[in-house]
Amino acid sequence: MKALTGLFRFIHALLAALFSCAAIMLILIASRIGWQAFLGDLDQAAAQGIIEAVGLLAAAVVALQIAETIVEEEVIRDADISAPTRVRRFLSRFFVVVIVALAIEGLVATFKALHEDPAQLPYAASLLAAVAVLLAAWGVFIRLNRYAEELEPEAMADAKREDRKLK
């Protein structure tokens, strides 16, 4: 069983490395697009380039945060994800990044639609509405999960002990 657990840790570490590589590539691409916009004329095309670079950087943040979460939760801590406290904390870290990135992407899509193709505005609005639904669902999840945590106070103590591994 220990060999299988070690294999899973290795696979998680590999996935985190791949997410990190994807983040680095997105940062490089966004930097190139931003630099090209900086060197060009200060016009609408440059603004679109900067807006596109911001969207790519948001995606890079998501990839990097996912990599960090995988490393901390699955490689370093080797945490038991079944405890309510651990589930809430794990999903909260993930949802914060995803919601912020999707909100930024929705704003980018809105700006692009306004300037390039107004027919795309309903799709941008749908993305922003989906972000609002995700945010509300996350809030409900946290509220309901708090009740489960109150039934298992030892789970919070265990989670705090696991956090010491990161310090």
Q: How does pLDDT run across 62-100, given as a tens digit for each residue?
A: 899 889 888 887 778 755 555 667 777 777 877 888 888
List CB contacts of 134: < 8 A, sequence separation 6 or more. 95, 98, 99, 102
Closest CA to 144 of 92, 84, 98: 84
Angle at 36 between CA 31 and CA 116, to 5 degrees: 100
* Percent of residues, the chain, with pLDDT higher than 70: 84
Considering the entire predicted model, what is its pTM?
Answer: 0.71
Average pLDDT, the chain: 84
